[in-house]
Amino acid sequence: MEIIILLLVVGIPIWIIAKIAEYFLNQKSTKEKNILKQDEIKEKFGDRVIDKGLSLEKRNDDIIQEHIEKLRAGYHRSYYIENSVRDCIDEIATAEGYFQMAPGHEYLSNWTSRANAEYLNLKDSLLKRFRARYDQLRKKAAEKEEREINNKYENLRNKYSDLIQQFFEITERKVSVIDDYGDEHWEELPKQIDVLTDKILKKEYWSDEDIKKRKKFAFFTPDEVKLLSESLQKEFKTYHAKQKQKKSNIDTDLINKMTGVEFETLLAKKITELGYEVTGTQATGDQGADLIAKKNGKKIIIQAKRYSGSVGNKSVQEVVGAIKYYQGDSGCVITNSVFTPSAKALAQKNDIILIDGHDLKIIEKFFS
């Protein structure tokens, strides 16, 4: 017990002396820090006059403007504006000599809990001003980026205008194909846009590996190429509508370059223009018919042969069979080439109309 009393008698005075010493040391340290800060203020701000007749914000507008000019429109974290405001307030508090109110590297939300009314008002006002400036910068950056993308897009269009024109012609032939239900093949449009895009990118020295990445990751596609794809979607619909209003041009040289399906499409369009309702048959198992044309209660079974050689008996025989299968009233074989003598003889015997490359130019005569 005596030992405890002795420790208390000796220990308490020693503890009190230590605390007093610590207090004076802290005071000295704080004074030294304040002196250093005052030196920093003088070096940075010179003999800055603090006009207390003005609001805290107005008398420090030069500092605020300096920090506003530091803002950039690039990608930043969500608290970019808050940190920028905090740094501005920190410099204002330092310039004012109000070191206790300087947030330093503290989060603005934490600093708010200890800030006085004057500084809280300053914070609210700065947040509005900084956000307004930041939004303005982002808008200008977006407009600049849009101009750059549009310029690149126009360059692409000019550079590959011939290829784009080919796209319209090829896609028109593919989309215009009529299916069994009488519908056009609009699923071909995005496919052909993709084909065109790949061709352009290859000409722009993209590797096959990069083109594969573009198809897998949308962000890998340049913005100007995306804009081109979107434009072609809209433009083709207008182009297609105009083409439907035009009369089909039977150009033998062009037909000779077509595929069988494209030839069928051209014929379907031409015969439709002559007042017939035309539908296609299945690509496989068509029983010898490619197109079925109806008008005034009559049904004509048509086989289209886009051919480089002479068309023989087989096509005539297939149409004869197709008339029975589809319950047609008559049959017709149309080719860009010529028929063999035996095919002509068989057609005559079975009342099958034959239209060769020469007669294609006057096809109206056969479908009047």
Residue that is last in its domain, among 195, 212, 245: 245
Residue 30 has pLDDT above 60, yes or no: no
Q: In this structure, are 125 and 174 located in the same domain?
A: no
Q: In this structure, are 350 and 260 located in the same domain?
A: yes
Residue 115 has pLDDT above 70, yes or no: yes
Are 332 and 303 contacting, i.e. CB atoms less than 8 angstroms apart?
yes
Q: In this structure, are 64 and 141 located in the same domain?
A: yes
DSSP secondary structure letters along 277-315: EEEE--SSS-TT-SEEEEETTEEEEEEEE--SSEE-HHH
Tell me the pTM.
Answer: 0.61
What CATH number has the domain bearing residue 292? 3.40.1350.10
pLDDT tens digits for 194-240?
A: 999 999 999 998 998 998 888 888 888 899 999 999 999 999 999 98
Residue 25 has pLDDT above 60, yes or no: no
Question: Angle at which helices 341-349 and 313-325 pack, to 10 degrees?
Answer: 30
Residue that is last in its domain, among 103, 135, 152: 152
In one letter, which amino acid is 20? I
Q: In this structure, are 177 and 217 located in the same domain?
A: yes
Note whether residue 118 is domain-resident.
yes
Are 131 and 81 contacting, i.e. CB atoms less than 8 angstroms apart?
yes
Residue 187 DSSP code: T
Cα–Cα distance list, 54 to 41, 50, 57 (Å): 20, 9, 8
Total domains in the fold of the chain: 3
Are 233 and 208 contacting, i.e. CB atoms less than 8 angstroms apart?
no
Q: In this structure, are 140 and 51 located in the same domain?
A: yes
Q: In this structure, are 195 and 299 located in the same domain?
A: no
Distance CA 198, CA 5 (A): 93
pLDDT tens digits for 298-316?
A: 999 999 998 888 999 999 9
**Direct distance between the N- and C-terminal alpha carbons of the chain, in angstroms, rounded to an integer:** 131
Note whether residue 32 is domain-resident.
no
Residue that is last in its domain, among 108, 123, 152: 152
Q: In this structure, are 321 and 295 located in the same domain?
A: yes
Are 290 and 264 contacting, i.e. CB atoms less than 8 angstroms apart?
yes
Residue 186 structural domain: 160-245
Q: In this structure, are 144 and 199 located in the same domain?
A: no
Q: In this structure, are 307 and 239 located in the same domain?
A: no
Note whether residue 22 is domain-resident.
no
- CA 350 from chain centre, in angstroms, equals 58
Backbone angles phi, psi at 193, to 5 degrees: -65, -40
Percentage above 90 pLDDT, the chain: 55
